[in-house]
Structures are given as structure tokens and as C-alpha cells.
Amino acid sequence: METIETFQGLWFVLIFLLLAGYSLLDGFDLGVGALLPVLGRSAEDKDTLIASIGPVWDGNEVWLITAGGALFAAFPHAYATAFSGFYPAMMLVLFALIFRAVSMEFRALDPSRAGWWEKALICGSLGAAFLFGVALGNIIYGVPLDEHMEYAGDFITLLRPVPLLFGITGLFAVLLQGAAWAILKTDGALRDRAYRVAFVLLWGNVIASLAYFAVLAFTFSELAGRPLFYIAVGVSLVGWMGLHLSLRSRRDGRPLAASSLSFLGLWLAAGAAQFPHLIRASNVPDWGLTIFNSSTGLYTLQVMSVIGLAGMPVVIGYTIFVYRLFKGKAKADGHYDG
């Protein structure tokens, strides 16, 4: 017999998958933008890097928009608390994403100020990657809520050490995704540079991620009894080892898969720590938002489940189609070789 708890759990998983999918896909877009001054030594290099993400970046953001819509429909109370309480931080993320998108177009259309638009792309990519991690850290670690389950802190409250660690960990993961994507989509000296940068970022990613896992284990003692957490750590370890081997063997197609696997491990650990919470209350635990006290009704969840389960294969299929259409090495003129 179908119960509301079944659908509440289902929608937690679906939103989790949408957010994880967004981070893996748009992660390399943001990573390429943030690494533009490191990887791009010439105008041609920068044109090639931007051309490599040009056909896919806007489609990748659909995953984030869909996750936001799903959160609004399935868990409206959590949506209201997050978006109203984190309003200044959300606006910073929004502006970062807008500058990232606008700068890629204006860089080509306004060559006299191309340098300024490149700076906007770099700052927007870095800012969005870091702030997404900080936001996730606050949701998992907990924020002060009042008896109405509304945010009771301020902007400074969001900048505590643990959420900042989440932001740093997420930033390293995104930068590593960007370097791995550059390896996949470029050749020559630019690809060689991406290999060297990926080696450095791998160790930064390992250090930040180990600190992230340790903080989660120390903060949430219940993780000791949750197999998913151990699976998450194992997935990241396999990803790091695979990435190290693929960078040494210089097989262009494998670093991105290994980097994505290590990134997925971070998300699995977050899911293990968070379920069934949506937003924890750091002051009074009972005031926190969970999938049980902030969801919509059973009928709405049932209808959404039919739509969601029918629509997800379409989204995944379209994503695969686009990536296959623009496969091969990117060129500075926007064409693809292969």
C-alpha cells in the first residue's frame, strides 16, 4: 500500500540526484571558467576552453532549475525557509551565475573589453562553486530556526567554519572537474597544462575531502551505523586512485570519469548525513525541517512522481544526445574535431 512516507523518501532521493547531477555536469563548466587564467595562456587557449563548454553549459543548469522546482512542489516549507532565510546568499549565487553566463557571450561580442568579461567569468565561476558548497554546508550542519521553522540568523551566521569547509571542498571538486574536462576536450600544450594542473588539484581535493569526511563523522555520530557513509568514502577513494592512474597513463577520456566518481562520493556522504532532514535547526533540533514535516500532500506527491519518473529519462536522454553531438576535441573557432 502506498503511503505518504514512501513518496516523501522518493522525492528526497530524486532531488538529491538532481542536485548531484547538476554538480557533476555544471561543475566542469564552473571549473573551466575558474581555471581560465591558469590554463589559458593565450587568446586561442581561452577561446578553446570557452568553446568546449559553450554548447552544454546552459543545458547543465536545467538540472539545478529542475531541482529547485521539485523542492518547491514536494517540500514547500523547506523551500520557503531556505530561499527566504538565505536570501542574500542566494542573490550572490544568482549574480555569480548571471555574470558567468553573460561574460561568455559578451567576451566575443565586445572584444575591446574582453579582459573585463574574462574576469567576470572567472569571478562568477569561483563564486558560484564556493557558495554552493557553503549553502549545502549550512543545510547539513544546521542553522538557527525559530518555532515557526523560519531562519533566525543573519548573513554572518552562514559563514561558520564547517560550512566554509564544505565550500572549500566543493570548490576543489569543481576545479578538478574543470581540469579533467579540459583534458578531455583539448589537445596540444593546453591539454598538457591541464594534466599538470589536475595533478596539483587532485592532492588539494584529497586533503579537503578527507577533512570533510572527518568533520561529518565527528559531527554526526549516527553515521557510524550507516553503511552508505562507508560506501561514500570508498567511492571517493576509488575515484582518487583511478584519477591518479589515468593522469599518469595520460588517457584523456578517463580523468573526468574518475573525478566525477570522487565527487559523487562527497554527495553520497552528504546524503547519508542528511536523511531524513532537509534543513537542520542548530539551536532546537525539534524545530528542524524534515521530509515528514515540510512536504506537500499525498496526492500532489503521487502526481509529481508520475511526471518526474516519466520526465527524468527524457532529461537524461537529451543530455546524452547533446554530449554525443558535441563530442571530440574543441577548437578555438567553436568547431569540434571528432
- pLDDT 10s digits, 99-116: 888 888 888 888 888 889
All cell numbers assigned to 106 = 559578451
Question: What is residue 243's three-state secondary structure?
Answer: helix
**Is residue 134 predicted with pLDDT exceeding 90?**
yes
- CA separation for the pair 23, 129 (Å, rounded): 9
- pLDDT 10s digits, 215-271: 999 999 999 899 999 999 999 999 999 999 999 998 888 999 999 999 999 999 999
Packing angle, helices 188-219 and 227-249, rounded to 10: 160
- pLDDT 10s digits, 15-65: 999 999 999 999 999 999 999 999 988 889 999 999 999 888 888 888 888
- Residue 143's φ and ψ, nearest 5 degrees, are -130, 155
pTM of the full structure: 0.94
Q: Angle 60-63-67 (CA atoms, 0-180°, nearest 5)? A: 160
Q: Are strands 336-337 and 289-290 parallel, antiparallel or unpaired?
A: unpaired
- CA separation for the pair 326, 330 (Å, rounded): 9
- Torsion angle defined by CA atoms of residues 156, 157, 159 and 162, in that order, rounded to the nearest 10 degrees: 170
**Is residue 1 predicted with pLDDT exceeding 60?**
no
Q: Are strands 289-290 and 277-279 parallel, antiparallel or unpaired?
A: antiparallel
